[in-house]
Chain A
Amino acid sequence: MSHPSPAPPRTTRRRSASVDLAIAAACVGALLLAIVVTAWLLDESSLRSHAGARLMPPGPDHLFGTDWLGRDLFTRTIMGLRLSLTVGVVTALLSVAVATVLGIAAALLGGWVDAVISWLIDLSIGIPHLVFMVLVAFSVGGGIKGIVIGISLTHWMSLARLIRADVLHLRHSDFVLASRGFGRSEWFIARRHLFGQVLPQALVGFVLMFPHVVLHEAALTFLGFGFSPQTPAIGILLHEGMPHISSGMWWMALFPGLCLLLVVLAFARLGDRLRVLTSSPGQGG
């Protein structure tokens, strides 16, 4: 008769999750630092076109090769990543803020506020989000504003629903009921009790949202609703590089694509580790 092997003790599991998280955070930190420092050190003159250096394959002078206007692809990729990171942070923050405020408000105030927010969540989730995102981005005029508003307004619902569920559970917890008994207002309870409790959830939401935003920014730009063609954005690089793959100029799409994949995977890994750690038993305290 076989016995199942005993599960590792909780402290060991938490320590292992913490080590994983530290490694993922170090990778993301190193990647961010590399992108920001490299972008700062790069000579922006290499963004200009050079007729004599058109479509050069990767080599010592041009690590990622050059594009059809002779522009250095390494410089453009790094600049594109920096832009993507900036857009990713701003958009993910905005989206998480909307989700947190609406999630807490729906659960705490209940009644018609909850009904309206829940209806809005259901409605927004019901629309195919790429179509919704393109419509919003287009209606606000595209560009960076279109990307930020388009992605923020179409990516708050799942997190808002999670936070609403958390707060619905927490609002009947003994410490919240005790707080009401001490005469504390709903605003105090939301700010001091509930916000702190849902913050780990919001943080995980932010980190997981980030790679999603970067991918959508590239997609919107690729589809022509994002940045203008002269901006060195990853979506633009992919859009320009794709037609050249079939004619042998593989480097134009490969390197920007690989860099995007690396950033997205690093953040997704960090978000996943953070989620494991914050959802493990005995997290309180």
Chain B
Amino acid sequence: MSLRATDLAYRVPGGHQLFTGLDLRVEAGQVVGLTGESGCGKSTLARILAGHLPPTTGTVLTDGYPVNAPGPRPVQLVQQHPEKAVNPRWTMRSVVAEAHDPDPALCERLGIRAEWYGRRPAELSGGELQRFCLLRALGPRTRYLIADEMTAMFDTLTQAELFAVVRDIVTERSIGLLVISHDIPLLDRLCDEIVAMPEQASAVSP
């Protein structure tokens, strides 16, 4: 039971090669950290792992099945910019309902207040919006969660609190968690294993 990427390569359409020959494995219930310098393709890799973007070559399998098989995907992505990840014209109630019917206990653990449900994304702060994105991503079918600079808009204390909650949830539900961050101390505290994007990733010439 794992999220497994094999021999992944991605070339920006009409542009340069971002990475080649990349292998990555996240076991169910494991917390893996991914770091690397800016522009090396961490966010692109996250999108490929979540099935949002096809790789140029290579495969991504979740528990042996292709990641972009029809139906709700077992891999969910929480991105750096929550305001782009939700329909700006919808209320938060619709945003969450699109994914699943949320468990009130989970909402409470994530610090989501009832009065926020009637608001639209522009009426919430980045941090509040990110909690909704996290709630939406933690549906009953989620087996793997990718957190791409998820807490960039939180202060250190809130960041620590939120990751503690997420860590507890993924442990309880045996969800594999891939944390992408530049914050090495955070990854050290949180992860069972830390992986760096390969040297060649940023060094590959056009």
Contact = CB atoms under 8 A, between A and B. Distances in A.
Contacts of A173: 84
A285 B98 contact: no
B153 to A, nearest CB: 15
Interface string A146-185: 0000000000000000000000000001110111111110
Interface in B43-85: 47, 50-52, 70-73, 75-77, 79, 81, 84-85
B76 A174 contact: no
B122 A285 contact: yes
Contacts, number: 56
Interface string A49-82: 0000000000000000000000000000000000
B196 interface: no
A204 B51 CA distance: 36
Contacts of B47: 177
Contacts of B139: 182
B86 A175 contact: yes
Contacts of A178: 52, 77, 85-86, 136
A181 B50 contact: yes
Interface string A189-211: 00011001100000000000000
Given A174-B84, A284-B89, A179 B98 contact: yes
Nearest to A181: B73
Contact of B87 (A175, A181, A182): A175
A193 B50 contact: no
Interface residues of B, number: 28
Contacts of B81: 174
B204 interface: no
Contacts of B88: 284-285
B121 interface: yes
Contacts of A179: 98
Given A181-B73, A182-B98, A196 B50 contact: no
Size class of the contact patch on chain A: 10 to 19
B77 A181 contact: yes
B182 interface: no
Interface string B108-147: 0000000000001111000000000000100100000000
A186 B36 CA distance: 35
Q: Considering residues A192, A193, A284, which has the most beta carbons from chain B within 10 angstroms of its beta carbon? A: A284
B52 A184 contact: no
Q: Considering residues B52, B76, B121, B123, which has the most beta carbons from chain A within 10 angstroms of its beta carbon? A: B52
B125 to A, nearest CB: 13
B72 A284 contact: no
A158 B197 CA distance: 46
A174 B79 contact: yes
A175 B99 contact: no
Contacts of A192: 87, 98
Contact of A175 (B50, B72, B84): B84
B85 A175 contact: yes
Contact of B76 (A181, A193, A196, A284): A181
B135 to A, nearest CB: 13
B52 A181 contact: yes
Given A184-B98, A284-B122, A285-B120, A177 B52 contact: yes
A195 B52 CA distance: 21
B136 to A, nearest CB: 8
A3 to B, nearest CB: 32
30 contacts: A173-B84, A174-B52, A174-B79, A174-B81, A174-B84, A174-B85, A175-B84, A175-B85, A175-B86, A178-B85, A178-B86, A178-B136, A180-B51, A180-B52, A181-B50, A181-B51, A181-B73, A181-B77, A182-B73, A182-B98, A182-B99, A182-B100, A182-B136, A183-B70, A183-B71, A192-B87, A196-B89, A197-B87, A285-B88, A285-B120
Interface of B: 47, 50-52, 70-73, 75-77, 79, 81, 84-89, 98-100, 120-123, 136, 139
Q: Which 9 A-B pairs have the closest CB atoms?
A: A285-B122, A183-B72, A284-B88, A177-B52, A174-B84, A182-B99, A174-B85, A183-B71, A285-B88
